[in-house]
């Protein structure tokens, strides 16, 4: 077991205990809400400080889920103290924000967070996501989230929202530009700030879906509650994937079934959700045909299974076009929720797997029906030519 970094431990105890804003019952409830319970004894010279210390000292910092849960506790404490400008008010809370940023930046990168990212990579990702943040977050949400990310929000205090048709204020887009200007210069620290903004809305299925498409366009994906570079095959365009066939999809389905059978942890269940989305994307690649794209519309992106399959069904089964679109949308919502839900369980993974099978079998059936219909038309043409 690895102890929580001393600086973060002391800063969180100071911010919650002593003259902090929480009573003992509230401190216990905050930790309990994040599944962090007291399993050790401590004496920090006060009931509130001791209550916080006993729960912090029970955290295994090397455990991803516990580390993230403690980070959420710290961010909650920081946001609870945020003023109108989004900046922490008390000295103890400002020190906590700084300690949290240092502790998280010191965590070694893993294959889930990828070592190869640069400042330019992460800034490009921020720029791509800014539009999503502008739509999903309110003006005050943006400032509050910046505070939770440990950014120097006092440098954003002069950016105030325009109200009542007044020209004396800034838009959310301008505020996000201000946030971008105070992002850290270090790639790892900058990435963690971007992740805090994503987590602010990740539980929304619509946001999660748009997030996946947006990240894929710049070579990233959301995995294990963080940003990760996509493996090379995932960023190939549709033309390069045109050689995909059903045997590959069936193999992915079998691998997903195996992953579901052996899944026992949160990461395992979320991984099943991710695998299911990949299966659906592979099925879409098999049936993609640019001729299905309606005139005047852009060709779907390589991971835009929803649009690819929607166009495919409209072209091959127009009488159930809307029903099939709702089916695909609902299935992908289930998979996205499983992939991103912090409480994903076996039932979530199982439903996602069944949804993937349903989509694949439906698309295969429509494709077979389409081939049969084209064969009949071709045969009729041959008869007419002979006659």
Asked which of 54, 80, 105 is the last residue of a domain, the reply is 105
Distance CA 315, CA 234 (A): 26
Residue-averaged pLDDT of the chain: 78
The pLDDT assigned to 4 comes to 87
Kindly state whether residues 27 and 123 are assigned to the same domain: no
pTM above the 0.85 mark?
no
112 in a domain, yes or no?
Answer: no
pLDDT at 238 over 70: no
Q: How confident is the model at residue 242 (pLDDT cuts 50, 70, 90)?
A: very low
Distance CA 325, CA 268 (A): 29
331 in a domain, yes or no?
Answer: yes
**Cβ–Cβ < 8 Å for 14, 92:** yes
Instruction: Number of helices (H) and strands (E) in the chain: give both, helices first.
Output: 16, 2
Our measurement of the distance from residue 138's CA atom to the centroid of its chain's CA atoms, rounded to an integer in Å, reads 19
The pLDDT assigned to 349 comes to 92
Kindly state whether residues 126 and 187 are assigned to the same domain: yes
Distance CA 381, CA 300 (A): 33
Kindly state whether residues 365 and 266 are assigned to the same domain: yes
55 in a domain, yes or no?
Answer: yes
pLDDT in tens, 163-193: 665 556 788 888 999 999 999 888 888 888 8
Residue with tokens 């989230």, as numbered in its chain: 145
Distance CA 174, CA 184 (A): 18
Q: How many domains does the chain have?
A: 3
Kindly state whether residues 272 and 381 are assigned to the same domain: yes
1 in a domain, yes or no?
Answer: no
Asked which of 42, 76, 105 is the last residue of a domain, the reply is 105
What is the four-CA torsion angle of 264, 265, 267, 268, rounded to 10 degrees? Answer: 0
Asked which of 105, 127, 161 is the last residue of a domain, the reply is 105
**Cβ–Cβ < 8 Å for 136, 204:** yes
Q: What is the three-class DSSP state of 22?
A: coil
Distance CA 116, CA 191 (A): 12
**Cβ–Cβ < 8 Å for 30, 73:** yes
Residue with tokens 């959301």, as numbered in its chain: 222
DSSP H/E element including 249: helix 246-262
DSSP code, position 86: S
Kindly state whether residues 350 and 310 are assigned to the same domain: yes
**Cβ–Cβ < 8 Å for 96, 11:** yes
374 in a domain, yes or no?
Answer: yes
Distance CA 30, CA 34 (A): 7
Residue with tokens 């640019």, as numbered in its chain: 290
The residue ranking higher by pLDDT, 380 or 121, is 121
Closest Cα to residue 39, out of 12, 68, 59, 61?
59
50 in a domain, yes or no?
Answer: yes
pLDDT at 54 over 70: yes
Two tokens, residue 19: 């003259």
Count Cβ atoms below 10 Å from residue 173 Cβ, excluding itself. Answer: 12
Kindly state whether residues 244 and 370 are assigned to the same domain: yes
Boundaries of domain holding 136: 119-227
**Cβ–Cβ < 8 Å for 8, 74:** yes
Kindly state whether residues 221 and 258 are assigned to the same domain: no
The residue ranking higher by pLDDT, 86 or 182, is 182
The contacts of residue 67 (CB under 8 Å, 6+ apart) are 59, 60, 61, 107
Kindly state whether residues 257 and 164 are assigned to the same domain: no
Kindly state whether residues 56 and 192 are assigned to the same domain: no
Kindly state whether residues 137 and 163 are assigned to the same domain: yes
- Give the mean pLDDT of 43-64: 82
Q: What percent of the chain has pLDDT over 70?
A: 79
- Give the mean pLDDT of 38-54: 79
Please report the sign of the dihedral spanned by the C-alpha atoms of residue 66, residue 72, residue 76, residue 79. Answer: positive
356 in a domain, yes or no?
Answer: yes
Distance CA 227, CA 122 (A): 9
What's the alpha-carbon Rg for the chain, to the nearest Å?
Answer: 25
**Cβ–Cβ < 8 Å for 277, 332:** yes
Q: In the chain, what are the helix, strand and coil shares in percent, each to the nearest 5?
A: 65, 5, 30
Kindly state whether residues 340 and 375 are assigned to the same domain: yes
Distance CA 162, CA 271 (A): 43
pLDDT at 235 over 50: no
111 in a domain, yes or no?
Answer: no
Kindly state whether residues 125 and 214 are assigned to the same domain: yes
Buried b (16+ CB within 10 A) or exposed e, 91-128: ebbbbbbbbbbebbeebeeeeebbeebebebbbebbee
């Amino acid at each position: 077991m690895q102890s929580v970094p001393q600086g973060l431990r002391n800063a969180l105890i100071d911010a919650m205990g002593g003259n902090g804003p929480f009573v003992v019952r509230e401190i216990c409830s905050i930790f309990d809400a994040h599944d962090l319970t007291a399993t050790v004894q401590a004496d920090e010279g006060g009931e509130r400080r001791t209550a916080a210390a006993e729960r912090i000292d029970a955290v295994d910092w090397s455990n991803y889920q516990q580390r993230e849960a403690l980070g959420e506790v710290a961010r909650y404490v920081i946001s609870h103290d945020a003023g109108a400008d989004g900046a922490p008010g008390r000295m103890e809370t400002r020190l906590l924000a700084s300690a949290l940023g240092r502790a998280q930046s010191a965590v070694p990168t893993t294959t889930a967070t990828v070592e190869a990212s640069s400042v330019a990579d992460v800034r490009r990702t921020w720029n791509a996501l800014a539009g999503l943040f502008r739509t999903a977050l309110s003006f005050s949400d943006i400032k509050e989230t910046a505070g939770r990310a440990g950014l120097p929000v006092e440098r954003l205090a002069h950016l105030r929202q325009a109200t009542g048709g007044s020209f004396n204020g800034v838009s959310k887009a301008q505020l996000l530009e201000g946030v971008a200007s105070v992002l850290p210069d270090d790639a790892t620290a900058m990435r963690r700030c971007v992740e805090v903004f994503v987590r602010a809305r990740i539980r929304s299925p619509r946001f999660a879906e748009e997030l996946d498409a947006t990240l894929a366009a710049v070579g990233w994906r959301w995995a294990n509650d963080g940003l990760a570079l996509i493996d090379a095959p995932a960023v190939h365009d549709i033309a390069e994937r045109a050689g995909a066939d059903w045997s590959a999809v069936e193999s992915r389905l079998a691998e997903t079934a195996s992953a579901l059978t052996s899944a026992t942890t949160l990461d395992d269940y979320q991984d099943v959700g991710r695998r299911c989305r990949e299966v659906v994307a592979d099925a879409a690649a098999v049936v993609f045909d640019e001729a299905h794209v309606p005139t005047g519309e852009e060709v779907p992106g390589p991971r835009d299974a929803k649009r690819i399959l929607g166009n495919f069904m409209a072209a091959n089964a127009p009488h159930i076009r809307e029903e099939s679109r709702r089916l695909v949308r609902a299935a992908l919502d289930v998979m996205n929720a499983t992939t991103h839900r912090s409480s994903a369980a076996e039932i979530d993974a199982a439903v996602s797997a069944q949804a993937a099978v349903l989509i694949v079998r439906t698309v295969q059936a429509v494709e077979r029906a389409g081939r049969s219909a084209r064969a009949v038309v071709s045969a009729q043409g041959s008869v007419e030519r002979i006659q």
